[in-house]
Structure 1
Amino acid sequence: MRPKSRRTTLADVAQAAGVSIATVSKVVNGRGDVAPQTRTRVQQLLHQHHYLAPVFRHTGAVQSPTIEVQFQGGLKSYVAETLEGIVDAAAEQGASVVISKASHAPHWARDLVSAGRRAVIAVTSVYTTAHLNELARSGLPLVVLDPLHLPDSRVNSVGATNFAGGLAATRHLLSLGHRRVAYLGGPAMAVCNQARMHGYRAAMEAAGARVPAAYVLPGEFTYEAGLLGATALLGLPEPPTAIFAGNDEIAVGVIETARTRGLRIPEDLSVVGFDDTSLAQIASPPLTTVRQPLREMGGAALRTALRLAGGEKVESHHIELATELVVRTSTAPPGEAASAHG
């Protein structure tokens, strides 16, 4: 029996044609903003490669899927990078995405169905039981990226190995010789924050390092929370020599607070972030952080949404992608200045 060949993707056709995936997607979807010669070449290659665009049923008609992507709050680095992953994956799959701020007005889910949406991807958005009930009534599947709360059993989600990331970040600081290590996190009840904090605690306990109650501070995943949290931590009678921040924005706030107090990074204070957004690379000094594969997470969410929209069953309600410690120059062994500061 002949093995089943791999289905041709938009990326295959784009490479053969020497154009972008987005251009091939425009041809597949009948968009007009493609040069005639390019359109002809792409159409020929689509035929030669026996390309079959994904199709979905909606009110009896066959059409390419449109996925609603909702986010809450500002368009920060974390959100922007996950959205980029979603958009890239949609182009490769021949799907369309509509990006909007989360809105839970009356009948919002029904309105999405009327507008032709086939699924919803939520980024940093919170959905209550009432919202989930409305989605269920409308028949719209929901995929949540890096859920803040334990998702309902009806919800599919994509995240990262937050506990392992917290463990790796703290072990790195301990390996440098730090013992006074604090955790400055996000919302106390957020699932990702709890996992990162438990990873921190596990590493500290395994090393026999003391964790005073004042060394663990919840907050928000914002730069401003980093400023305030670092002020509290560095004002303690025995301040930490290292701070593990719940995300890169918090970490950058910590660095700024340290600078205003005359402390040097990393000579007087080591700082580790989480996410590895563009902020980590442009921080001064560049930030040691735990990399979340944000673009890959966005791509996984998009592919999961397409499968659900097509009526397929998925193997798991939750997908976790691996995190990785990225060591830059914001961490170093505790120095004499740090000891004197304590």
Structure 2
Amino acid sequence: MERRPRVRMIEVARAAGVSHSTASRALNGSGKVSEAARQAVERAARDLGYVRDLRAADLASSRAATVGLLIRAAERPFYGELAARVQAHTEQRDYDLLTVSGGDDLDHQIRALETLLGHGAGGILIASGRAAAEAIEYASSFVPTVTVGVGLVRPGIDAVDIAVESEQELAEAVAEAGHKHVAVTASSNRLAYALHSRTANFLTSLVLADVRTTIVPSRADGDERLIKGLRSALDAGVTAVMAGEDLTAVRVIEQLVEWGLRCPEDVSVTGFDGAGAYRSPLLGLTTVAQPVEDMTGAAVDLLQTRMAGGRVDTAGLRFPGQLVRGRTLGPPPDLGGA
């Protein structure tokens, strides 16, 4: 993919019709710039795709190459584990790592990527299940970019994901337990590509196993829409709930307890990701542990090759996860679960 050249400050100043020093003060947030000039400079910077270089010039030549990592949210166990493994792999290759959170919308992701680019990232890993296609293309227009666990295929963009067979295996385990009516949670956020793909794989596998399905939509973990949809599904005879991620699975179990229902005796529940405590036998959650070590190692290797100018075909790498058979999946009540 052809990279966009870095736009210089003088080009921004020229487009805005101001001096170089005025443009610099406007972009640095100085108060000694008129509002009209500031708006003109910011508009020119956006139109030209200018990214401010935040590195100190006297340090640039002595520092190791910098890799940027964009994750969805550091407080989520899956992304925390993923960031830790990426750091281990980048340190082994003598890279500096700069990590930012991109959140759930395009504007936040673009600002986060501008921070990485502004600090001189020579390559970027995007590891967010809600990364916007526009954000991925924005990063890749400047530097080599690899997505990890995004679940979105873009022309010319290297991607590393979990194998779809792992999602199918979990759905097949639910069907093999004897469940004939299963609810599947589904995110209504348009950027949740990984969850959309996972939901589709769950539904396809269940239908092929002759299992009736019901979709439970959700905008956020534990929101009213999830609770309402879960109640309707149970009233319709659902005996198992497949959540798209472990956090949602735990929310579902908490709601079942509030309603006086037992898991799995009354309703079985499965999750996905298997990060940290969620794969602990103490919790006993039936889930799939994502192959974080394999995925991050392959992603950093691939990014290193791209940053060095290596010529390889666009990669779409997939690694199998591990099915964790916990206590939260059992037979339906009419088969002895009660």
On whether the aligned pair clears a TM of 0.5, the verdict is: yes
Contact conserved, 2:72 with 2:79, CA < 8 A, in 1?
no
Distance 1:259 1:130, change over 3 A: closer
Please give the per-residue CA displacement for 1:218-260, whole angstroms capped at 9, x wherever unaligned: 335x5325x7525422334323110111010110111000000
The correspondence for 1:318, drawn from 316, 319, 326, is 316
Q: Which position in structure 2 is the counterpart of 1:295?
A: 293
The correspondence for 2:158, drawn from 156, 167, 170, is 156
The 5-angstrom pairing of residues 317-336 of structure 1 reads 317-336=315-334
The one-letter code of the counterpart of 1:235 is S
Distance 1:114 1:257, change over 3 A: closer
Contact conserved, 2:81 with 2:275, CA < 8 A, in 1?
yes
Distance 2:265 2:112 in 1: 55
The 5-angstrom pairing of residues 123-138 of structure 1 reads 123-124=127-128, 126-129=131-134, 132-133=137-138, 135-136=140-141, 138=142
Distance 1:106 1:235 in 2: 40
Distance 1:185 1:114, change over 3 A: closer
Please give the per-residue CA displacement for 1:13-68, whole angstroms capped at 9, x wherever unaligned: xxxxxxxxxxxxxxxxxxxxxxxxxxxxxxxxxxxxxxxxxxxxxxx969732101
Distance 1:312 1:197 in 2: 36
Distance 1:310 1:119 in 2: 10
**TM-score, scaled relative to structure 2:** 0.70
Q: Which position in structure 1 is the counterpart of 2:215?
A: 216
Where do 5+ consecutive residues of structure 2 fail to align?
A: 1-59, 103-107
Number of matched residues? 271
The correspondence for 1:262, drawn from 257, 260, 280, is 260
Where do 5+ consecutive residues of structure 1 fail to align?
A: 1-59
Deviation at residue 287 of structure 1 after TM alignment:
0.3
Q: Aligned pair 1:119/2:123, yes or no? A: yes
**TM-score, scaled relative to structure 1:** 0.69
Q: Which position in structure 2 is the counterpart of 1:89?
A: 89
Distance 1:188 1:170, change over 3 A: farther
Distance 1:318 1:93 in 2: 22
Q: Aligned pair 1:232/2:233, yes or no? A: no
Q: Which position in structure 2 is the counterpart of 1:202?
A: 204
Distance 1:251 1:84 in 2: 24
Distance 1:72 1:290, change over 3 A: closer
Distance 1:206 1:154, change over 3 A: closer
Contact conserved, 1:84 with 1:298, CA < 8 A, in 2?
no
Taking CA–CA contacts closer than 8 Å with sequence separation of 6 or more, which of the two structures ends up with the larger relative contact order?
1
Deviation at residue 328 of structure 1 after TM alignment:
0.9
Contact conserved, 1:249 with 1:279, CA < 8 A, in 2?
no
Q: Which position in structure 1 is the counterpart of 2:72?
A: 72
Contact conserved, 2:123 with 2:303, CA < 8 A, in 1?
yes
Contact conserved, 1:72 with 1:101, CA < 8 A, in 2?
yes
The one-letter code of the counterpart of 2:160 is V
Distance 2:109 2:334 in 1: 54
Q: Which position in structure 1 is the counterpart of 2:33?
A: none
For the residue of structure 2 that corresponds to 1:174, the secondary structure is helix
For the residue of structure 1 that corresponds to 2:272, the secondary structure is strand
Distance 1:104 1:113 in 2: 12
Distance 1:61 1:228, change over 3 A: same
Contact conserved, 2:110 with 2:135, CA < 8 A, in 1?
no
Q: Which position in structure 2 is the counterpart of 1:51?
A: none
Distance 1:130 1:250 in 2: 26
For the residue of structure 2 that corresponds to 1:117, the secondary structure is coil
The 5-angstrom pairing of residues 43-82 of structure 1 reads 64-82=64-82
Distance 2:197 2:136 in 1: 25
Q: Which position in structure 2 is the counterpart of 1:177?
A: 178
The correspondence for 1:143, drawn from 146, 150, 153, is 146
Distance 1:89 1:308, change over 3 A: same
Deviation at residue 181 of structure 1 after TM alignment:
1.0
Q: Which position in structure 2 is the counterpart of 1:35?
A: none
Distance 1:107 1:254 in 2: 32
For the residue of structure 2 that corresponds to 1:332, the secondary structure is coil
* Cα RMSD, aligned residues only: 3.1
Q: Which position in structure 2 is the counterpart of 1:306?
A: 304
For the residue of structure 1 that corresponds to 2:183, the secondary structure is strand
- What is the identity percentage for the equivalent residue pairs of Structure 1 and Structure 2? 21
Deviation at residue 266 of structure 1 after TM alignment:
0.9
The one-letter code of the counterpart of 1:118 is G
